[in-house]
Amino acid sequence: MKTVVHGYGVDMDWMKVLADSLGGNLENGRITCHPAVMEGILYGCQINQDLSAFFQDVTYHQDINYQLRNTDDDFVGIYFNLTEGEAVQLMDNVQKPVGRWAYNVAVMDSTLPGDYLVKSGSKTYSISIFIRKMALRQNLQKIPNFEELKEALFDVAQNTLIRFERMSNQAWFLMNELRKTGFGHPLFNTYLTGTVYGLMADYLDQVLHQEIILDRVSQEDIIGIMTSQSALIAAMNGTFPGIEALASSVNMSETKYKQLFKKITGATANAFFLTNKLDTAKEMLDSGKHTIAEVAEAFAFFDASHFIEQFKKTYGFTPKEYLTLL
Q: Average pLDDT of the chain?
A: 90
Q: Name the pTM for this structure.
A: 0.85
Distance of alpha carbon 176 from alpha carbon 285, whole angstroms: 27
Other CB atoms closer than 10 Å to residue 77's CB: what's the count?
22
For residue 200, give the 3-state DSSP assignment: helix
For the stretch 88-139, pLDDT in tens is 887 777 777 787 767 789 999 999 888 999 999 999 999 999 999 999 988 8
- Are both 246 and 113 inside the same structural domain? no
- Are both 143 and 68 inside the same structural domain? yes
Q: For the chain, what is the domain count?
A: 2
CA dihedral 257, 279, 281, 123 (to 10 degrees): -120
Nearest Cα to Cα of residue 198 among 45, 75, 80: 80
For the stretch 54-101, pLDDT in tens is 999 999 999 999 999 999 989 999 999 999 998 888 777 777 778 776
Looking at residue 101, what is its pLDDT?
66
Look at residue 212 and tell me if it is in a domain. Answer: no
pLDDT band at 150 (very low <50, low <70, confident <90, very high): confident
pLDDT band at 157 (very low <50, low <70, confident <90, very high): confident
Looking at residue 86, what is its pLDDT?
87
Looking at residue 326, what is its pLDDT?
63
The residue segments making up the domain with residue 274 are 218-326
Measure CA 262 to chain center. Answer: 14
Look at residue 21 and tell me if it is in a domain. Answer: yes
Mean pLDDT, rounded, for 221-246: 91
- Are both 298 and 177 inside the same structural domain? no
CATH number at residue 21: 2.60.120.10
- Are both 18 and 69 inside the same structural domain? yes
pLDDT at 209 over 80: no
- Are both 46 and 116 inside the same structural domain? yes
Distance of alpha carbon 176 from alpha carbon 170, whole angstroms: 10
Distance of alpha carbon 243 from alpha carbon 255, whole angstroms: 9
